[in-house]
Amino acid sequence: MQKHILQNKNRIAFGSGILILLAFFIHLVLKRPDVAELFLIVASIIGILPIAIQAYQALRVKVVSIDVLVTVAVAGAFLIQNYEESAIVTFLFLFGGYLEQRTLTKTRSAIQELVALAPERALLEFADGETEEVDVDDIDIGDILIVKTGDKVPVDGKVLTGEGHVNEASITGEPLPAKKMKGAQVFAGTILENGTLRVEAERIGEDTTFGRIIELVEEAQDSKSEAERFIDSFSKYYTPAVLLISLIVYLFTKNLELAITILVLGCPGALVIGVPVSNVAGIGNGARHGILLKGSEVIHDFSRVDTILFDKTGTLTEGNPSVSDVTLLTEDDALLPALVSVERESSHPLAQAIVRHFPDVKQAPVTDTHVVQGGGVVATVDGRHMAVGNAFLMDSEKVELSSDACDKIHALERKGHSIVLVAIDGTLGAILGIRDAIRPGMKEKLQELKQLGVKHLIMLSGDNQGTVDIVKEELGLTEGYGNLLPEDKAAFTKKLVAEGRMVAFVGDGINDSPSLATAQVGIAMGGGTDVAIETSDVVLMNSDMGRLPHAMGLAKATARNMKQNMVIAIGVVLVLMASLIFSDWMNMSIGMFVHEGSILAVILNGMRLLGYKK
The angle that helices 588-607 and 256-265 make with each other, rounded to 10 degrees, is 0
77-91, 163-177, 479-493: which has the minimum mean pLDDT? 163-177
pLDDT of residue 582: 83
> Do 50 and 67 touch, CB atoms closer than 8 A?
no
Burial 75-104 (b: 16+ CB within 10 A, else e): ebbbeeebbbbbbbbbbbbbbbbebbeebb
Q: What are the sequence ranges of the domains in the chain?
A: 2-108+241-273+559-611, 140-203, 291-313+441-543, 322-435
**CA–CA gap between residue 300 and residue 538 (Å, rounded):** 12
User: Tens of pLDDT along 499-514?
Assistant: 999 999 998 755 677 7
If pLDDT is split at 50, 70 and 90, which confidence band does 401 have?
Answer: very high
**CA–CA gap between residue 407 and residue 409 (Å, rounded):** 5
User: Which amino acid appears at position 271 of this protein?
Assistant: L
Helix, strand, coil distribution of the chain in percent, nearest 5: 55, 20, 25
Q: Does domain 291-313+441-543 have CATH number 3.30.70.2340?
A: no
Instruction: Give residues with Cβ within 8 angstroms of 514, minimum separation 6.
Output: 486, 487, 489, 490
How far does the chain reach from its first CA to its final CA, in angstroms? 50
Ranges of H-type helices in 254-334: 256-265, 269-288, 296-302
Cα dihedral sign for 229, 565, 608, 544? negative
> Do 312 and 471 touch, CB atoms closer than 8 A?
yes
**CA–CA gap between residue 175 and residue 172 (Å, rounded):** 8
User: Which amino acid appears at position 461 of this protein?
Assistant: S
Q: How far is CA 471 from the centre of its chain?
A: 29
Instruction: Pick the catalytic residue from 67, 311, 463, 537.
Output: 311
Q: Does domain 140-203 have CATH number 2.70.150.10?
A: yes
Name the CATH code of domain 322-435 (choices 3.40.109.10, 3.30.2320.50, 3.40.1110.10, 2.160.10.10).
Answer: 3.40.1110.10
Q: Are strands 479-481 and 376-381 parallel, antiparallel or unpaired?
A: unpaired
Which DSSP string corresponds to 408-420?
A: HHHHHHHTT-EEE
Phi/psi at 438 (5° precision): -70, 145
Provide the 3-class DSSP secondary structure of residue 458.
strand
Instruction: Give residues with Cβ within 8 angstroms of 173, minimum separation 6.
Output: 288, 289, 290, 291, 541, 542, 544, 547
pLDDT of residue 289: 84
User: Tens of pLDDT along 156-210?
Assistant: 899 999 988 887 765 554 545 778 888 888 888 888 888 899 999 998 887 776 6
Phi/psi at 333 (5° precision): -65, -15
**CA–CA gap between residue 603 and residue 555 (Å, rounded):** 18
**CA–CA gap between residue 282 and residue 295 (Å, rounded):** 10
pLDDT of residue 318: 77
User: Tens of pLDDT along 210-254?
Assistant: 676 666 555 544 555 565 566 666 667 777 888 888 889 888 888
**CA–CA gap between residue 409 and residue 177 (Å, rounded):** 42
Ranges of H-type helices in 61-124: 66-79, 83-107, 109-117
Cα dihedral sign for 504, 505, 508, 513? negative
pLDDT of residue 228: 58
- 463 labelled catalytic: no
11-15, 38-42, 116-120, 564-568: which has the minimum mean pLDDT? 116-120
User: Tens of pLDDT along 420-465?
Assistant: 999 999 999 999 998 888 888 899 999 999 999 999 999 998 777 8
129-138, 166-175, 261-270, 464-473: which has the minimum mean pLDDT? 166-175
Question: Please, is 142 exposed, middle or buried when counting C-beta atoms within 10 Å of its C-beta (0-12, 13-18, 19+)?
Answer: exposed
**CA–CA gap between residue 323 and residue 305 (Å, rounded):** 37
